[in-house]
Amino acid sequence: MLQPVIGMPPFVDGKYRVEAVVGRGGMGAVFRARDLRLERDVAIKIVRADLVGDPDSRARFQREAQIVARLQHPAIVTVFDYGNLPDGAAFLVMEFVRGEDLRHVLKREKTLPPARTVALVAGVAAGVDAAHRAGVLHRDLKPENILLPANGTGPKVLDFGVAKMTDTAAATSGLMTHGTTIVGTPAYMAPEQLRGETLDERADVSTLWGGIVYRHRHQARGGPGRGGRTTVGRRRAAAAAGAGARPRREASDHRRLC
């Protein structure tokens, strides 16, 4: 549900009129706004100044925004514009999707029919595959980043590249492994991501299949899943125990779905 805008300037970059809050999170907030030039609704993600305020962070944000803006796929939320606010915060202007995220759907419906689950995963996998072919990793796939449009079209994946744009966020949240900053949501991270290793596309595949699909199906059967009570330490211990294992079968299944 949209909330009234409080403490937000009425315009962003002089051309987007802020109209309502869509949601708030650890990195900042998302607003619904009106593009006054093209006369269309857009979503604007405001990223906190402390995450992108220094010159290196701003340059990284700009570089990643340019890369992600080139991603064009029906299952990926399109990025239209980016920039910085006077207080040092950064913003991304994106396609506005009317609907709800997968987390809210699962909270309400508890479980999805197998056919709907397959269609959902196939749609997300297609978007992830398209991004990987363009050299872009998501790094933070989770139900909150999977949008289900109200018009019944396929799912759309949100926030490609945002985790890399703001990887200093991990330092403030204490997610460090052997001096290496790791970014993402611990309950859904791939083992190699928890270990702070260099990532490739298999990390996203592992998160989609192991973190999202398995967790959802396991909880639907009454299992404990890997919910909010799972500690970072426990996930890291499990990741360390499985060091060297790679999601090869999941990667093969992922390719077949695409």
> CA-CA distance, 44 to 25, in Å (whole number)?
13
Task: Tell me the CA distances in angstroms from 204 to 138, 185, 234, one per residue in order.
Answer: 7, 12, 20
- Which residues make beta-bridge pairs with 258? none
For residue 70 the two structure tokens come to 């080139």
Instruction: State the catalytic residues.
Output: 140
Q: Cβ(246)–Cβ(203) under 8 Å?
A: no
Phi, psi for 175 (deg, rounded to 5) = -85, 85
> Residue 95 phi/psi, 5° resolution?
-55, 135
Identify which of 87, 56, 77 has the alpha carbon closest to the alpha carbon of residue 123.
77
Let me know: does 32 contact 70? Beta carbons within 8 Å: no
